[in-house]
Structure 1
């Protein structure tokens, strides 16, 4: 507990002082401060009309979005009892979320969850800030802290999004959108303690001037260790602290946002390790939204981020990012609604190997990424919309990439949408692809080019009855130039990273919500995946096609939310995951549950159980580190609004 209070105070103090001195806020209105009244009463029709932005980069109703998109609401997150962003992402039935140890996750959509934990075909954003690392074109999930109570929604798109979101939006896009400062007024304390984890989240929001609102927050947590296969402690517990702020001001014509975060963390000391595992960094983001009197919306967003990490082998990595995005949603003209924009990103990274480890040559590199895009929604008829989009993106490795997209959406009724799409996506080279060196073993990939996808999709989303909503999508993906690790000399070693694999994947994703009766809702999800990958003629990849991704052939989920009384909720979450083949992981079924009592509109007590069916189970294996299993856990939670 001493550590807990120390890192909470250390993380919260600088941001709290800076924002309070700048804002000089008034007290929040009493009727807005900290209410925790039940918000899970939205009808299925109201949920279908939730406003999303990730499919077309402009606000639209979920029911009319021509893509396989699932929205995780703030309400869903609260009712699930999730205590981290990766755990909240388990709520999306179109994602594979697999935990490797106390801090590591493999997260993917439509396959290619790489066995080293370096999945690289998702574009992930937090409030429009891309969080992928150019080290391997993926996400360090242990570095992504978000105060879940302040998340408005998480939009999860499976399928390519390159025409709007660029390279690396190959198999999907995850967009985490936090609430406006005006919607988080008053104070909130959320404390959790249990058999493995302990956490404290604190937030306060207020107002300044006529249009300004702000919030500051601090989070601190200690995550318990995983288990070895024998049941012993895995010695991988870790601590994390984060603090930040968000300020919104302005009116209908011009609105501004300034927000930022600082974080640090460390893992349990490992006997004999060369270094202590640590992570840290921060970011600052500013945005301006302008609404001209003649219609349309102009948006400009700039952010800076710096992250660093040291792992126990002694390897050190740091990254600085400078990013600018501009976008203009034109006022509708006749049957056309257009979005145009562009952006520029600069990455400056530094990677230092340790004794007898791999390294990157050169150790430091500056890479640049520039793009322009246009998308036009054409109303062919009142019930038929054609969307055409194209992004041109230039990167430091392969030059110009083109990312086209065509979508057709038909509304046969007011409560049904049938859509189809053809898209191209690419995953551009990362530092690991081009520059990874281990003398005598790996000689980099000097000729590595972008991995390519042509995707064909079709789907249905509708509400057959007032109490039932359904979404079904099918896809057929054709990949080329996938990464391989190949021998190019008679002596086998050293190996070179090349583009010697191609193949196809196809599958179905489906989810549905059924309002059984007032106060009881069931949500089910299922997806099936098949892969047919092969090496190019003459290829000498030493790992084979299984190394491209370790993915289950099916996933099933069922969630139940039941209001037992006006103040007592019971939530149950059952999931079943098929086995993995390389490395082998047995199929498993697990259960989570949450019993919550709203003592008042400001106080909620809950008991949360995770992985209740087994003492411990294996979800994913990183072949380069020891196997770790995820234990059963039980937590108590207090949420207090004031």
Structure 2
């Protein structure tokens, strides 16, 4: 089994690409690893903000209470095409529209050990929904957090963040309890005040020298403002409350010097309460509760086998059950559900010392999407010990969500048999597919302390799931005649071609510089989509980060980001090119026996800028905050 030291060696060992532990230069895909020190020094308050350090990721969110980061192109507002894992557990929510961004908020940043990001498709390892990138958030082992820690941040825009952690244990068992809360007032000119509270427990047990058991429990609850205006007929100001909870057990056993077994079981529940009053016509007021309740159960078994010094495999089987209910979203259906049985495997063959072949295959049998396969073939050429070239192709899919298969949204007008029916899914929609071809390069110059990771890609997506704008609507008795029910259909294809790279330079023992850039061109097959500039990503994006240690335990970080013009929805919401600079100045010291750090962070030093929805004058404002952290 790899140790923690392996993950932070000069060539880090990563797990996310193929589920096998591999040195970064042997992984079958481009990867970015961000450790906990970098997360802290970045001044980020959310995981979405941390992902600005990954080339190709674009920060978004329809309001400040719903931060979202998408790889290459944001084809939805919920992150359903970007797989997010926390300690290997998917945070994909079943109840609404295949959401991951609520789950991505369900982790406390000080608890994170590192974030591994595979830049590209990876259904071959993880199945449906690992289409545009895999974000694997790995929390700290509880043995590394014995003792206590507390932090407080206060600042502009209502920022008030609190965090506390207590860890106890010994050589055989360790437990950590972490609690935290975040508050802020979101975007300027938006109704999106946020209060996010969390409680998490992680236990790590070692019942024998061959066994390791990890147990994780947690709950996060978000209370946030929603809505466009006090008088908007479809989305007036209202309060939304969501709660995400999980339980996870993972058991790892080293069977012998060649075989390792892993069994994981997890359960996730996501609930939303969203009562509001809409006015479809000025004379009618309608109370609607868009709340949902989702559950997902998952079990997985995998075995890693080292057959020889040149050949090793990983095979696994699993099953998941997803279900949801909502009186409004799934009218009259009670619980709706789908299950999936899966078989997956990876084979790594070292043809000779310079050539490495990695093949992966995922086979899923989904009760609604049917049977699908997702293969990958990648060849790594280790031209020298420090220069690696990578060439490969991957096919990925996204299975439609429960709402895209079974959604039937109804709201009855008071005192009448008439009802509004904005969506009525026929269940005929098919999975989306993505073919990703890439050429990669990873170069290291140890003497100069420079690393360059580049990826040239062509991504071809077909069968995009969209709504049909009511074209196939069949009116039911009592259905409001002025509103067509929309179905979900496959109607869209696009091609994305680009180059991205990340350059890291450890100029001195005290100075580190990062440079990330992404250049891309996207073209819709349908000229109408092209004309409307539907979901258009930026053609270029650059992030520069400087981490500088100063004398007397001072440290300064500067992150500058420039993003080209784009739209996260339609042409009417086109955003001009934006730039953002964050500066963090910190000092570590001892205070009454505690290890302490005081930091002052300013985000968006340039000032207010239009963001996400220029039509409504949403702005990302400049904000500063002070942070004090104490640790035993």
Which of 59, 65, 71 matches 1:103? 65
Q: Which residue of structure 2 lines up, in the alignment, with residue 319 of structure 1?
A: 294
Q: Which residue of structure 1 lines up, in the alignment, with residue 180 of structure 2?
A: 219
The structure whose RCO (Cα within 8 Å, separation 6+) is larger is 1
What is the alpha-carbon distance in structure 2 between the residues aligned to residue 212 and residue 640 of structure 1?
24
What is the alpha-carbon distance in structure 2 between the residues aligned to residue 236 and residue 431 of structure 1?
27
Q: Which residue of structure 2 lines up, in the alignment, with residue 125 of structure 1?
A: 85
State whether structure 2 residue 165 is matched by structure 1 residue 165: no
Tell me the SS of whatever aligns to 2:40. Answer: helix
Which of 200, 203, 228 matches 1:247? 203
Tell me the SS of whatever aligns to 2:72. Answer: coil
Range with bigger deviation, 334-343 or 453-462: 334-343
State whether structure 2 residue 565 is matched by structure 1 residue 579: yes
Change (3 A) 1:442 1:200: closer
State whether structure 2 residue 601 is matched by structure 1 residue 619: no
Q: Which residue of structure 2 lines up, in the alignment, with residue 257 of structure 1?
A: 214
Which of 246, 251, 269 matches 1:288? 251
Count of residues paired in the alignment: 581
Unpaired segments of 5 or more residues in structure 2? Answer: 277-288, 410-419, 475-482
Change (3 A) 1:341 1:98: same
Deviation digits for residues 87-138 of structure 1 (CA, Å, limit 9, x no counterpart): 2222222311224322113321122x03x51332111110111011233233
Q: Which residue of structure 1 lines up, in the alignment, with residue 493 of structure 2?
A: 502
State whether structure 2 residue 391 is matched by structure 1 residue 401: no
Tell me the SS of whatever aligns to 1:264. Answer: strand
Shift, 1:180, TM fit? 0.6
Shift, 1:546, TM fit? 5.2
Shift, 1:496, TM fit? 3.0
Shift, 1:534, TM fit? 1.7
What is the alpha-carbon distance in structure 2 between the residues aligned to residue 527 and residue 454 of structure 1?
19
What is the alpha-carbon distance in structure 2 between the residues aligned to residue 527 and residue 572 of structure 1?
20
Shift, 1:215, TM fit? 0.8
Q: Which residue of structure 1 lines up, in the alignment, with residue 444 of structure 2?
A: 463
Change (3 A) 1:260 1:546: farther
TM-score where L is the length of structure 1: 0.85
Q: Which residue of structure 1 lines up, in the alignment, with residue 279 of structure 2?
A: none
Deviation digits for residues 35-79 of structure 1 (CA, Å, limit 9, x no counterpart): xxxxxxx9xx96542221001212222233231111111111011
State whether structure 2 residue 105 is matched by structure 1 residue 144: yes
Which of 623, 629, 632 matches 1:633? 623
| Contact 1:520–1:561 (CA under 8 A) maintained in structure 2 | yes
| Contact 2:566–2:574 (CA under 8 A) maintained in structure 1 | yes
Tell me the SS of whatever aligns to 2:63. Answer: coil
Deviation digits for residues 535-571 of structure 1 (CA, Å, limit 9, x no counterpart): 39xxxx8x77857634111110100011111500010
| Contact 1:131–1:139 (CA under 8 A) maintained in structure 2 | yes
State whether structure 2 residue 445 is matched by structure 1 residue 482: no
Unpaired segments of 5 or more residues in structure 1? Answer: 1-41, 229-233
TM-score where L is the length of structure 2: 0.87
Within-5 A mapping of 1:133-532? 133-134=93-94, 135-141=96-102, 144-196=105-157, 197-208=159-170, 210-228=171-189, 234-250=190-206, 251-268=208-225, 276-313=239-276, 314-333=289-308, 335-353=310-328, 362=333, 364-437=335-408, 439=420, 441-466=422-447, 467-486=449-468, 488=471, 493-532=484-523
What is the alpha-carbon distance in structure 2 between the residues aligned to residue 294 and residue 490 of structure 1?
61
Range with bigger deviation, 128-137 or 174-183: 128-137
What is the alpha-carbon distance in structure 1 between the residues aligned to residue 583 and residue 309 of structure 2?
51
Q: Which residue of structure 2 lines up, in the alignment, with residue 595 of structure 1?
A: 585
Shift, 1:252, TM fit? 3.3
What is the alpha-carbon distance in structure 1 between the residues aligned to residue 337 and residue 191 of structure 2?
36
Tell me the SS of whatever aligns to 1:141. Answer: helix
| Contact 2:91–2:103 (CA under 8 A) maintained in structure 1 | no
| Contact 1:110–1:158 (CA under 8 A) maintained in structure 2 | no
Q: Which residue of structure 2 lines up, in the alignment, with residue 533 of structure 1?
A: 524
Change (3 A) 1:612 1:100: farther
Q: Which residue of structure 2 lines up, in the alignment, with residue 552 of structure 1?
A: 538
